[in-house]
């Protein structure tokens, strides 16, 4: 391709490749500096955005960021693209596409926005997001409707679900159960009850699956379980007849990144098909769960694109969504502040990335949630996670993750608390998934207005649930 250039205040900036246009148009973040692909000045960033705004969307069909021959993610995306779905916006530039999305969002036209998903490449979603402000990401994100189901229905308007994450440093059954019950008493768990196992073995996975399954069965909770073991471990558990609701895997946006996670597309095909065969869902058959996060490809050294140039981490993140959507997942979430300050340095970068990831995931047709989280060496605190949570609630985020008191004692990071989820629901007038809402009513865990009750330990509703702790 010929170099693209833009002139700002008398200075002409030149971008020799599409990879560079994308990288330098990206709002500032430490991971792109680390990769050596970030804009070197604010003016250069805007120049790149100016170039990007004028690119026709068809550029991304003709020209790749990561090569078709070298990378199976690129092949998967292009080989399964629905040309008809792109038709309404095919003639637009990236800048015009942004305006088209904002106009449809303002008109509340969910069908027009949501209908594009299978026609969009991850790079198109990434490109338009780079031109958008945070409020644009919220406004359009909330009109990209993606509804999925297993035992609960997720992604409906006016709902905010949560993954209850009862992790324990040694997978201790009593400890896990304590956190699980605490979450249920706070109205969490409608997206999934999902445990990150301390030990990734089939035996441990099966033990934890059976533990959650017993609680779900005992109280007839309309939700699903997941043990976030490696996909090969879940396959072993499936072979041994374990009660697997959802198959989980972390995925990245390049073939090399996925190899770093020890997965291939063929392996994912096999695991998703095997899980679907169990037919354990009641209201839907979305049986997979994927986690992603900006920076994962770079941390695996698998972030290079056409010409060996480093690809920016947000574009690579969108490509991970290109992998995930192939499997019609029930849940996908970015783990936005987990990876560390060398990828997302501070609250500004984490908040921006969380909104980008939600928007791009939804635009590409994913049931997108966010693990609103941080580590102690990142410049983020609970005030910042409040901000991101409320923005995500406004953006129609499908689900967030919650742990007791924000403190994950197994993974050693901070996510949201159960109270944070209640606050977001209260402030934004959001409800849990409908089936789970009905269960909370049945168990008398909510009052007539739908608010989760504050129970004493000897309240009958609490006693009924806490019986499972003995």
Partner 1 sequence: MSDAFDTLRAATRARVALGRAGDGLPTARLLEFRAAHAAARDAVHSPLDTASVVAALGTTGLDVLEVASAAPDRATYLQRPDLGRQLAEGTELPGGEHDLALVVADGLSPRAVEEHAAGTVTAVLERLTGWSVAPLVVATQARVALGDPVGEALGARIVVVLIGERPGLSSADSLGLYLTFGPRTGRADSERNCISNVRPPHGLGYAQAADTLAGLLLASRELGASGVVLKDEGTALPPGAG
Distance CA 379, CA 323 (A): 31
Distance CA 234, CA 225 (A): 13
196 is in an annotated binding site: yes
Q: Does 376 bind partner 1 (CB under 8 A)?
A: yes
314 is in an annotated binding site: no
Question: Contacts with partner 1 in 356-375 (CB under 8 A)?
Answer: 375
Question: Contacts with partner 1 in 281-300 (CB under 8 A)?
Answer: 299-300
The window from 85-93, 131-139, 188-196, 460-468 that contacts partner 1 (CB under 8 A) reads: 460-468
163 is in an annotated binding site: yes
Considering the complex, state which of residue 12 and residue 449 has its C-beta at the smaller distance from partner 1: 449
Q: Does 407 bind partner 1 (CB under 8 A)?
A: yes
Selected binder of partner 1 within 179, 204, 292, 294 (CB under 8 A)? 179
CA distances from 345 to 7, 291, 342 (A): 30, 20, 6
Selected binder of partner 1 within 42, 69, 458, 460 (CB under 8 A)? 458
The window from 68-76, 242-250, 354-362, 454-462 that contacts partner 1 (CB under 8 A) reads: 454-462
Residue 241, judged by CB atoms within 10 A of its CB (0-12, 13-18, 19+), counts as exposed
Distance CA 43, CA 311 (A): 20
Q: Pairing state of beta strands 407-408 and 413-414? A: antiparallel
Selected binder of partner 1 within 54, 82, 172, 269 (CB under 8 A)? 172
Considering the complex, state which of residue 328 and residue 346 has its C-beta at the smaller distance from partner 1: 346
Selected binder of partner 1 within 19, 22, 30, 384 (CB under 8 A)? 30
CA dihedral 84, 87, 88, 89 (to 10 degrees): 130
Distance CA 371, CA 357 (A): 11
* Continuous segment of H or E residues that includes residue 95: helix 94-106
Q: Does 417 bind partner 1 (CB under 8 A)?
A: yes
CA-nearest of 83, 26, 72 to 320 is 72
Selected binder of partner 1 within 16, 17, 28, 34 (CB under 8 A)? 34
Helix 382-394 with 347-363: angle, nearest 10 deg: 20
Q: Note the residues at the interface with partner 1 (CB under 8 A).
A: 30, 33-34, 166-169, 172, 174-179, 181-182, 260, 299-300, 341-342, 345, 375-377, 381-382, 403-407, 409, 412, 414, 417, 419, 422-423, 425-426, 451-452, 454, 456-458, 462-463, 466, 469-470
């Amino acid at each position: 391709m010929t170099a693209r250039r833009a002139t700002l205040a008398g200075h002409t900036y030149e971008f020799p490749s599409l990879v560079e246009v994308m990288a330098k148009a990206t709002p500032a973040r430490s991971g792109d500096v680390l990769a050596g692909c970030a804009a070197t000045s604010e003016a250069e960033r805007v120049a790149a955005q100016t170039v990007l705004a004028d690119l026709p969307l068809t550029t991304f069909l003709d020209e790749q960021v990561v090569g078709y021959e070298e990378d199976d993610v690129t092949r998967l995306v292009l080989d399964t693209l629905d040309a008809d779905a792109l038709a309404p916006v095919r003639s637009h530039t990236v800048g015009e596409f942004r305006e088209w999305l904002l106009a449809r969002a303002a008109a509340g036209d969910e069908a027009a926005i949501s209908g594009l998903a299978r026609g969009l490449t991850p790079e198109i979603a990434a490109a338009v997001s780079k031109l958008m402000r945070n409020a644009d990401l919220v406004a359009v994100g909330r009109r990209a409707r993606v509804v999925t189901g297993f035992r609960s229905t997720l992604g409906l308007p006016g709902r905010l679900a949560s993954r209850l994450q009862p992790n324990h440093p040694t997978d201790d059954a009593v400890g896990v159960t304590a956190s699980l019950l605490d979450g249920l008493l706070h109205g969490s768990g409608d997206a999934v009850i999902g445990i990150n196992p301390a030990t990734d073995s089939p035996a441990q996975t099966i033990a934890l699956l059976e533990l959650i399954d017993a609680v779900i069965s005992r109280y007839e909770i309309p939700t699903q379980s997941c043990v976030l073991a490696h996909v090969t471990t879940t396959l072993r558990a499936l072979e041994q007849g374990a009660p697997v609701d959802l198959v989980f895997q972390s995925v990245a946006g390049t073939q090399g990144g996925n190899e770093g996670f020890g997965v291939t597309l063929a392996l994912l095909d096999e695991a998703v098909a095997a899980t679907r065969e169990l037919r354990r869902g009641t209201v839907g058959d979305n049986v997979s769960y994927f986690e992603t996060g900006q920076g994962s490809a770079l941390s695996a050294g698998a972030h290079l694109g056409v010409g060996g140039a480093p690809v920016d981490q947000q574009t690579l993140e969108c490509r991970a969504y290109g992998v995930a959507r192939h499997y019609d997942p029930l849940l996908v979430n970015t783990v936005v502040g987990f990876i560390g300050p060398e990828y997302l340095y501070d609250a500004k970068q984490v908040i921006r990335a969380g909104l980008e990831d939600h928007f791009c995931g939804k635009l590409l047709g994913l049931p997108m949630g966010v693990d609103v989280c941080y580590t102690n060496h990142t410049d983020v605190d609970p005030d910042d996670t409040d901000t991101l949570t409320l923005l995500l609630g406004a953006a129609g985020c499908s689900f967030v993750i919650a742990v007791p008191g924000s403190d994950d004692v197994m993974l050693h990071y901070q996510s949201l608390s159960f109270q944070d989820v209640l606050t977001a629901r209260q402030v934004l007038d959001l409800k849990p998934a409908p089936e789970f809402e009905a269960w909370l009513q049945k168990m008398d865990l909510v009052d007539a207005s739908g608010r989760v009750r504050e129970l004493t330990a000897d309240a009958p509703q609490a006693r009924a649930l806490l019986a499972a702790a003995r």
